[in-house]
Amino acid sequence: MRIEDIARDTIARLPQAFLAHLKDVLLLVEEEADDSTLAALGLEHPLDLTGLYHGRPLGEKSSMDSGTMPDRIHLYRQAILAEWVETGVRLDDLVRHVTIHEIGHHFGLSDDDMHALEDAVTD
């Protein structure tokens, strides 16, 4: 199963209350983070970043946001595969974890809330 397929399946399993707020969020699977993204995050190597949320959390949005780029969830294939090989975690579990983590940023969730959401998706 491809990384994008796993991520889309993860999203499809989210509770309906979450899905309603994700319809305009783009999911992008890229080989690796670009140099400007890494520099902005203070990272030196592209394998250090498995995923990234670009946008403003829902609670911070306003009507003045029109004309801005759509919110985006980036998954970085090479970093995910490297972590998969290094940790031995199942690939679907790892992709699910990264996807939920980035979705959590969209909703402004705490780490505990992200873990609870991840548990709800895997049940």
**pLDDT (tens digit, 9 = 90+) per residue, 45-62?**
999 999 999 887 665 655
At a CB cut-off of 8 Å and minimum separation 6, what does 115 contact?
Answer: none
Q: State pLDDT tens for residues 10-31.
A: 999 988 888 888 888 899 999 9
* CB-count exposure of residue 115 (10 Å: 0-12, 13-18, 19+): middle
Contact predicate 48/95, CB 8 Å: no
Q: How far apart are CA 79 and CA 86, in angstroms?
A: 10
At a CB cut-off of 8 Å and minimum separation 6, what does 109 contact?
Answer: 117
pLDDT of residue 60: 60
pLDDT of residue 19: 86
Structural domains in the chain, sorted by start:
3-59+68-122 (3.30.2010.20)
Q: State pLDDT tens for residues 83-115.
A: 999 999 999 999 999 999 999 888 888 788 787
pLDDT of residue 5: 96
pLDDT of residue 27: 94
pLDDT of residue 18: 84
Q: How far apart are CA 61 and CA 92, in angstroms?
A: 31
